Amino acid sequence: MIEIVILGSGGSIPSLGRNHPSIVVRHTGWNLMFDCGEDTQRQFERAGLGQNKKMAIFITHTHADHLLGLGGLLLRFSLLGRIRPLDIYGPAELIEYVKVNQKTINLGTTFKTTVYGIKSGTLFESDHLAVRAFEVDHRGLAFGYEVSYQRPTGEFLPEKAKSLDVPEGPLWGKLSDGESIALDDGREIRSEEVTGPRPHPLKIVYTGDTRPCDSLRRAAESADILISEAMYTSDHSDLAEERGHMTASSAAELAKEANVKLLVLTHYSPRYETGGPILDEARAIFPDAVLAEDFMRIILNPDGTYRVLHPDHTI
Ligand SMILES: [Zn+2]
Ligand SMILES: [Zn+2]
């Protein structure tokens, strides 16, 4: 199961209920963070994500609303004694930005921090997870990110296991987890012999800030979840064009063309604080759309089904 936690769904100015952009994708002990707007450290704490987990941070572009939380988050992790290394990916200016922070505000870290200036392509691969960056159309160099999860095996087929005389029990579990096993009679049974065809990888796409563009359309093709900025409604499409953003309808049209399963609308302007007009406009085109809220969680199951868990507003 993959868990997506929305830490910030706000626009360029945070409001009382919505912080600057940040999203965390969690699986097998990893916290993969996408964008780190101001005060993400407290959102991270409130969401209970665990400061010493395996972690990588991916910044979409160097606009302040996506980035200013980085120093605070690193400081927090240091004060709490993090020891695991932390890799940070984003446009090359990020390397200088972190260096200047380290020099001028004494931001030493208790753990190894490596910052990578990136180009489009695969950046990260571990535990069946991969992250790929693709360039999008914003003001200056900006990336979207595609997270894919390669399911280790297809469906376990008990009849096949029985026909090969594999005794029911823990060995079945190993085979269904993709491992090979050795039987007492010396035979080796591979997982592929007792499982169905491996399904396509699960895919989550995060747009960052962008205009609708072909690279995003290609990345979003058949995505399980598309998390898209939707800064404006279409009556402000002139502003969207001028400032390099999407409208709710352009996000919905793209989701429809790309045949995604679920569209999550985020980074909407504080002028639509409740998000109602954004959601209505998107759903008129693409009904499987939800509004991101801070602390919303989305569970993506290995079979591709999902559940949206709305936040407990008492937090
Ligand atoms: Zn932004
Ligand atoms: Zn921006």
Which ligand ends up closest to the CA of 267?
Answer: 1
Q: How far is the centre of ligand 2, averaged over its atoms, from the C-alpha of 208 (Å)?
A: 8
pLDDT of residue 315: 39
H/E element holding 23? strand 22-27
Catalytically annotated residue among 35, 39, 65, 209? 65
Backbone angles phi, psi at 123, to 5 degrees: -110, -30
Domain identity same for 145 and 287: yes
Domain identity same for 24 and 167: no
H/E element holding 56? strand 54-58
314 assigned to some structural domain: no
pLDDT of residue 314: 43
67: buried, middle or exposed (CB in 10 Å: 19+, 13-18, 0-12)? buried
Q: How far is the centre of ligand 2, averaged over its atoms, from the C-alpha of 37 (Å)?
A: 11
What is the domain range of residue 130?
2-151+201-309
pLDDT of residue 65: 97
The distance between the two most distant Cα atoms of the chain, rounded to a whole number of Å, is 72
315 assigned to some structural domain: no
Average pLDDT on 182-198 reads 91
- Can you tell me the distance from the alpha carbon of 255 to that of 250, in angstroms, rounded to the nearest whole number? 9
The tokens describing 231, both together, are: 């800064």
Write the pLDDT tens digit of every residue in 20-56.
999 999 998 999 999 999 999 999 999 999 989 999 9
Average pLDDT on 101-130 reads 92
pLDDT of residue 19: 97
Domain identity same for 123 and 183: no
33 assigned to some structural domain: yes
Locate the DSSP E strands across 258-309: 262-266, 289-291, 297-300, 306-309
Look at the chain and report how many structural domains it folds into: 2
Domain identity same for 141 and 177: no
How is the chain split among helix, strand and coil, in percent rounded to 5?
30, 30, 45
8 A C-beta contact, residue 76 and residue 106: no
Domain identity same for 140 and 165: no
Domain identity same for 15 and 48: yes
**Catalytic residue list contains 280:** no
Domain identity same for 27 and 105: yes
8 A C-beta contact, residue 289 and residue 283: yes
Q: Smallest Cα–Cα separation from 9: which of 305, 268, 274, 285?
A: 268
66 assigned to some structural domain: yes
Which ligand ends up closest to the CA of 22?
Answer: 1
Domain identity same for 257 and 291: yes
Domain final residue pick, 174, 193, 212: 193
The tokens describing 217, both together, are: 């359309």
Q: How far is CA 217 from CA 91, 205, 228, 234, 259, in A?
A: 21, 10, 11, 19, 10
* Percentage above 70 pLDDT, the chain: 99
Task: Give the three-state DSSP class for 188.
Answer: strand
pLDDT of residue 62: 97
256 assigned to some structural domain: yes
Domain identity same for 217 and 168: no
Three-state helix/strand/coil letters over 74-90? HHHHHHCCCCCCEEEEE
Average pLDDT on 75-99 reads 95
**Which residues 6+ apart lie within 8 Å of 147 measured at CB?**
25, 32, 129, 130, 131, 203, 204, 205, 206
Domain identity same for 214 and 260: yes
137 assigned to some structural domain: yes
| CATH assignment of the domain containing 64 | 3.60.15.10
pLDDT of residue 313: 54
Average pLDDT on 151-174 reads 91
Q: How far is the centre of ligand 1, averaged over its atoms, from the C-alpha of 295 (Å)?
A: 19
Q: How far is the centre of ligand 2, averaged over its atoms, from the C-alpha of 11 (Å)?
A: 10
131 assigned to some structural domain: yes
Domain identity same for 104 and 173: no
Domain identity same for 180 and 261: no
Length of the chain: 315
Task: Give the three-state DSSP class for 193.
Answer: helix
Q: How far is CA 262 from CA 212, 251, 254, 287, 288, in A?
A: 17, 12, 12, 9, 5
116 assigned to some structural domain: yes
Average pLDDT on 297-302 reads 94
Which ligand ends up closest to the CA of 35?
Answer: 1
Q: How far is the centre of ligand 1, averaged over its atoms, from the C-alpha of 91 (Å)?
A: 15
Average pLDDT on 144-166 reads 92
**Which residues 6+ apart lie within 8 Å of 182 measured at CB?**
188, 189
